[in-house]
Structure 1
C-alpha cells in the first residue's frame, strides 16, 4: 500500500482528533485556521484513504469496577502465533494482544478484571491455548499519549 502524504493541515487534524474525537468541525476549523468545509473534506479523504480507521471512546475501567489490569507475557510457536493471538482476543477480559517478532516471549496479552478470580480465570483460559505463560504482572499504571503529527520534525507519511 502506498503511503499517504500528510501535509500540515492533515497533521494538525490528526493530532487534534487523537486528543478528542468529539471536536466539531467548527472547533477543528477554528483551531487549525481553515474552513469547516476544509475539515469535512480532509476528514472524508483521510477516512477514504484508510489513514483514519475509526473513532473510539476512552473508558476508565476502574470506574466500572474493573480495577485489576494484568499483563501476560507468553510464548507461542511462531507458526501458531497469529492464530493463538486471535484465539486470545476472544476471551472477554482480554483487551489487547501484541505479537512480537521474537522466538520466545512473543505474545503480550493485556486483560482487565474486577477480582483476583477474574484474572485466574483468564490465565486458565490462556493456558488452554497453544502457548506458555512466562510471566504475569499486575500493571500499576500505563501512560499513553497520541502521536502528535504536528510536532514531528519532518512530516511523516502514514
Structure 2
C-alpha cells in the first residue's frame, strides 16, 4: 500500500481547512495541476487512507452526548462470535483489541447515564463477555486529529499556509535567488562583443 507523501499531505490539509473546496480550487490554492489533485484524492480513497464521511459526524448531533470507554474481558474460547455480538450494538462506535487486564476497549456513546447502564447490560449479555469496566468521559480536550502529523509530513513549509502565486515566487529554489542577486550586483562585462549591456553570471549549485 502506497503511503501518504508530502504532496498528499498538502492536499489533505487544504481540504481539511475547506472541506467543500472543489478540485480546481484546491489545485489553484496549492499551485498543482488539477489532474494531479484529482488523481491523488482518488488514490487516497481507493487505498483506504481516507475514511468514510460518517466518521466526521458528531454523535452529540444524533442525540448521544455521553461518551464512555468500556474495557471488556472475554472468554478466548468464544473469540470472534463475541466481537461480532458486541459490534451489533449500534452505540459501540469503536472497538479495539488491547493489552493489559482486559481484552477489548469499546468506545461507546449514550444519551445519558441511564442509557449507558442499558448499553452496559447489553454488552454483558453478549456470549463470551466475562466482565466490564466503565469510564465516563467528562470532557474531550482534544478530539482525534492527525493534522499536526500531516503538517510535519509536509516539512517546514507546511506552517506557512496555502501556496499562492506570490508565495511560490518567494519560495523559488535558492539557486534561482542566487542568480537574481548576482545579476543585480554583477558589473557589465562585454564578454561576447555584443555591447555594454551583456554580462556573465556564475551559477551556484
* TM-score normalised by structure 1 residue count: 0.76
- 70-79 or 17-26, larger mean C-alpha shift: 17-26
- The 8 Å contact of residues 66 and 112 in structure 1, kept in 2 or not, is answered as yes
Unpaired runs of 5+ residues, structure 1, are none
Distance 2:102 2:152 in 1: 34
Counterpart in the other structure of 2:130: 132
Counterpart in the other structure of 1:76: 74
Distance 2:77 2:13 in 1: 37
Counterpart in the other structure of 1:116: 113
Counterpart in the other structure of 2:28: 30
Unpaired runs of 5+ residues, structure 2, are 156-205
- 20-29 or 90-99, larger mean C-alpha shift: 20-29
Tell me which protein shows more helix as a share of its residues.
2
Distance 1:122 1:91 in 2: 8
What is the aligned counterpart of 2:41 among 21, 24, 43?
A: 43
SS in 2 for 1:105: coil
Distance 1:79 1:152 in 2: 43
Count of equivalent residues? 151
Q: Which of these two proteins has the greater Rg computed from alpha carbons? A: 2
- 51-60 or 64-73, larger mean C-alpha shift: 51-60
